[in-house]
Amino acid sequence: MAKEIKAIKCPNCGSVNKIELKPDFYKCTSCQTEYFLDDNDVNINYNHNYNHNNPLNTNQKAIKVIAIVVGSIFLVVLLINILTSIFSSKRSSNNYSAYSGATTREEDQGYYTSRYSHISFLQKSGQPVIVILENRRYKSNINEQKDGTYLTFYNPLKKELIKAEKISDKSLSSADFKFKLFSDGNIYMVKDKASLLKLDTENLKTEDVGKKFFEANNELQIGVATMEFVYNDYGDGLIILTNDGKKRYYYPLIQKLYTEAEYYKANNGFDTLLPNAKDKTIYFFTSESSDYPDEKLQLIQLTYKDNGGGPKDITDRLNWSKDYGGSGIFTDRDPYRKVLLGKWEKERGRVLNWKDITPGRLYFAPTVLLGEGEDLVIQVRADANTKSPFKIQKINKDNGALEWTASLPEGANVETLIKYKDGFTGVNDRNEIIVLDNKGNITSNYKLD
């Protein structure tokens, strides 16, 4: 039977454009579909497998490649974030105890220090200790709560900080915090004119003793508004302003309270001495005189009646002057005597006797550093040049002989000195601690950090 002639169209896109691959097998040139004819039925069958050069296939592959690349990048970023999180957690864990949870700050950047007044003492073991008032401001914000004022305790022999006790959140200077050694051998302190403290020299800590001292006097039961030490020459007293506005002078060791008039009567003269008054010897240098400017400075040994824990007016500042025998207005035509210590000064200071223990010696910028026990140690310049370095010298108390001399570094000026078993130690005005042996050799001179 003859075949019926029909137009052969692509079963996929309907195009009549084709090429014959083999009898009754064709390929559409428009969409690349392959199909064949099934004899008399003229059935058209087509193959869904497209050629690899099909642009659609090519686009699909490109999309797959892009998806793989993007996915890979995502996985790499995710991995980096996971590792960063792990190590950050580890750093946070390591820093927790030091920084209370801080994760991005350094551990401790130290602090700025301002040092003010100081005082030295010996412990029962014989070890010297130097306590210094320090104001600290920490560099790191995480230590901001540590800012404030500290009492710092140094061992000058071991060159180490033994302890630091914070005493105030405020910045206190030597005007706000005062040390004073009382006649009972204890060190007392007035803090910010509001607290009276006592130093425990063995445990290196302070104790507030104001309440105990003030409650011992009935008039002070109303309370104390402010307090401050009297001048060093006036003994172990406090100038007090009570809560009701009264100014009083209080001597806590003897628990006596004075009005201003009573105080000035009690601090001088032999007739106001307490029963336990004892002889005491001190050493000091005379000061320059306006009446006699060419007079040499002298090293004076003076003995007086010490009033113990009661009021006193110690005579330790003398200079040569003209004594006209009374008060009033005088001229050089009036008779006078050249005196270092007149009758009135002797009575006021309860002076028993005095003498120049190094007569004829010339001194420049002298000070007495230590005059306790058997030791008399002074500090002087070698000559009148104000830039000449200072020297430390030990003087024999009995005959005034010079026993040894130690030369200080240029510019150094020792402010305090104490004796311990193997020598002497003190602090200079450059925050340096000096240690000397008993022969005057400087064994250590180091600056505090």
Q: Which three-class secondary structure state does DSSP give residue 68?
A: helix
- Can you give 152-203 as a three-state secondary structure string? EEEECCCCEEEEEEEEECCCCCCCCEEEEECCCCCEEEEECCCEEEEEECCC
DSSP 310: S
Q: What is the pTM of this model?
A: 0.74
What would the DSSP string read from start to end of 378-415? EEEESSS-TTSPEEEEEE-TTT--EEEEEEPPTT--EE
What would the DSSP string read from start to end of 66-81? HHHHHHHHHHHHHHHH
Share the mean pLDDT of the chain. 85
Contact (Cβ atoms closer than 8 angstroms) between residue 350 and residue 268: yes
pLDDT for residue 112 is more than 80: yes
Q: How far, in Å, CA of 375 to CA of 381, rounded? A: 20
pLDDT for residue 430 is more than 60: yes
Q: Tell me which of 323 and 263 has the higher pLDDT.
A: 263
Q: 338-380: per-residue pLDDT in tens?
A: 999 999 899 999 999 999 999 999 999 999 999 988 899 999 9
For the chain, the maximum distance between any two Cα atoms, rounded to a whole number of angstroms, is 176
Q: How far, in Å, CA of 392 to CA of 229, rounded? A: 30
Give me the pLDDT at residue 371, please.
94
Q: Tell me which of 24 and 337 has the higher pLDDT.
A: 337
Amino acid (1-letter code) at residue 381:
R
Tokens of 29: 């040139």
Give me the pLDDT at residue 448, please.
86
pLDDT confidence tier of residue 92, bands split at 50, 70 and 90: very low
Tokens of 225: 């508004």
Cβ contacts of 261-268, under 8 Å, gap ≥ 24? 263/237, 263/311, 266/310, 266/311, 267/234, 267/235, 267/307, 267/311, 267/312, 267/313, 268/312, 268/313, 268/347, 268/348, 268/349, 268/350
pLDDT for residue 82 is more than 80: no
Give me the pLDDT at residue 33, please.
73
Give me the pLDDT at residue 155, please.
96
Q: What is the mean pLDDT of residues 406-415?
A: 91
Q: What is the mean pLDDT of residues 41-68?
A: 50
Q: How far, in Å, CA of 173 to CA of 91, rounded? A: 40
Q: Which of 84-88, 172-176, 235-239 has the lowest mean pLDDT?
A: 84-88
Q: Tell me which of 7 and 289 has the higher pLDDT.
A: 289
Half-sphere exposure of 170 (CA within 13 A, CB side): 7
pLDDT for residue 385 is more than 90: yes
Give me the pLDDT at residue 380, please.
98
Give me the pLDDT at residue 7, please.
61
